[in-house]
A and B are shown apart, each in its own frame.
Chain A
Amino acid sequence: MLTIDNLQAQVADKPILKGISLRINPGEIHAIMGPNGAGKSTLGYTLGGRPGYEVTGGSVLFKGADLLGLEPHERAAAGLFLGFQYPVEIPGVSFVQFLRESANAQRKSRGEEPLSGGEFLKLAREKAALLRMDMDMLKRPVNVGFSGGEKKRAEMVQMGILDPALAILDETDSGLDIDALRICGEGINAIMRRPDKAVLLITHYQRLLDYVKPDFVHVLAGGRIVKSGGPELALQLEDEGYEAVAA
């Protein structure tokens, strides 16, 4: 699904990713953990194609094709979803309007028929219910006035609607209370835990992994993956701290 080979990237001329290699197969859930400043969010943004995140070396193949040559919207159409740590507020633009246009832009680029207004609303309602989100909230401007937890749930609703092959979720657990954490975790499982899909979870903490059980855990420090293991590695990190485990 995703093959990252020796990826190096910089932001504002400062090297952040210093040679990351990672292979994610369909059906797998990977967690990337690491201390602040390790490069976790940079990895997510670089894979998403955010302007200002400059790739200086290495390669990324997504479903066998070069990912890095694609524009951000083309990466989405290819099946990549980036869940934001800080979802952006867009005044005046409703979720429903923007998501329908986004979904249909993706479908168009794949040669599929657009969803009608009715079909889209049915899909949106179904995914909103999955995340226990009031459909009325999706008629409001994107993320405006949403609490931290509502923004993260809205991210998961978007993921459900857009139905990606690979989701890269950047600290989806930050800013969530216990109930919202469980709802988001269950949402990720319901939407993404399938043989033909994969997830890369970027997180500081073990707590999300109680709900979304990873197959592999990687420790990112200083722009490199310094250790990889199974789910037990996350528990070890929680017990012993990054310094002890990553040293």
Chain B
Amino acid sequence: MSQALALPSRSNEDFRYADLAALAPLWPVAVEEIALGAGEHRALTITNTGGSAAVRELAITLAPGASLALHVLNASPAYGRIAVRAELGARAEFTLGAAQLAGGEATLEIVTHVTHAGPDAVSRQVVRSVAGGAATANYLGKVLVRPGADGTDGEQSVRAMLLDRTATANARPELEIYADDVKCAHGCAVGELDANGLFYLASRGLPPADAKRLMLQAFIAEAFVGAAEEEALQEAALAALEALL
């Protein structure tokens, strides 16, 4: 019991890049259980834009044929951590679309463990992070395909954009596959805004800050495509982005 309550250390892979000092006063974190019955569908939005540190732990269970679409805007100026464990039954669908906007010295992170427990389940994770100043944006995501979970379709698309040379992005997509007939794709890239694109926009009269905002807005938007609250999320993300620039 006391073991379970102890503050994790960096040797715990899930907390390797965490802001442990910010986590300590919030630990232990209550796990929020979300269980969807067979064929049930739900959409969930988490907007983390408050001023204080926020740590969420979700444990999601999807019965056969259930689907959950989770959209996250992680843009706290302090520490923001959203950890998700999801277990997918046969033909279940889990979608995660997350944007992180990290400025100042903030550490923002999305940590996922997605388990394909039954056949023909689909998981799609799209994570877009922007980090400026001395901030850190992390994505640690593991997809586990259990024996017998044939027909699994898993996708992790992870991209991070660094606005300053002092900012950090960590991305670690992981796959662990014990079934044969499986389609698992993962893509991961960390980069800077395209200088050619910025000059092109500037040459039409857009001031540099506006050109950056426009390109980053488009970059982040990829995380919210198809979200039930797409427009509200885009607007909140834009406000957070403007604060970052």
**Docked-complex contact A102 and B200, CB < 8 angstroms:** no
Q: Which of A46-64 contact B (CB under 8 A)?
A: 48-51
CA A18 to CA B211, docked complex, whole Å:
32
Contact count band on A: 20 to 34
How many CB-defined contacts (below 8 Å) exist between A and B?
80
Task: Note all chain B residues with C-beta closer than 8 A to A101.
Answer: 206, 210, 214
B215 at the interface (CB under 8 A from A): yes
Contact of A106 among B201, B205, B215, B217 (CB under 8 A): B205
B27 at the interface (CB under 8 A from A): no
Contact of A92 among B196, B201, B221 (CB under 8 A): B221
B245 at the interface (CB under 8 A from A): no
B15 at the interface (CB under 8 A from A): no
Task: Note all chain B residues with C-beta closer than 8 A to A76.
Answer: 202-205
Number of interface residues of B (CB under 8 A): 23
B39 at the interface (CB under 8 A from A): no
CA A80 to CA B94, docked complex, whole Å:
50
Which one of A25-33, A83-91, A180-188 is at the interface? A83-91
Most buried by A among B195, B210, B214, B215: B214
B104 at the interface (CB under 8 A from A): no
Task: Note all chain B residues with C-beta closer than 8 A to A124.
Answer: none
B207 at the interface (CB under 8 A from A): yes
CA A48 to CA B219, docked complex, whole Å:
26
Task: Note all chain B residues with C-beta closer than 8 A to A236.
Answer: none
Contact of B195 among A51, A84, A141 (CB under 8 A): A51
CA A84 to CA B221, docked complex, whole Å:
27
CA A112 to CA B17, docked complex, whole Å:
49
B37 at the interface (CB under 8 A from A): no
> Least Cβ distance of A42 to chain B in Å?
14
**Given A76-B202, A82-B203, A92 contacting B219 (CB threshold 8 A):** yes
Contact of B218 among A50, A90, A106, A158 (CB under 8 A): A90
CA A75 to CA B199, docked complex, whole Å:
12
**Given A93-B214, A101-B206, A162-B204, A50 contacting B199 (CB threshold 8 A):** yes
Task: Note all chain A residues with C-beta closer than 8 A to B202.
Answer: 49, 71-73, 76
Task: Note all chain B residues with C-beta closer than 8 A to A49.
Answer: 202-203
Most buried by B among A50, A73, A81, A109: A73
> Least Cβ distance of B129 to chain A in Å?
16
> Least Cβ distance of A157 to chain B in Å?
12
Task: Identify 16 new A-B residue pairs, CB closer than 8 A, beyond the known A71-B208, A73-B207, A87-B200.
Answer: A48-B203, A50-B199, A51-B195, A72-B199, A72-B202, A76-B203, A77-B205, A88-B200, A90-B218, A92-B218, A92-B221, A93-B218, A98-B206, A101-B214, A105-B205, A109-B205
List 3 tightest A-B contacts by C-beta distance, closest first.
Answer: A92-B218, A76-B205, A102-B204
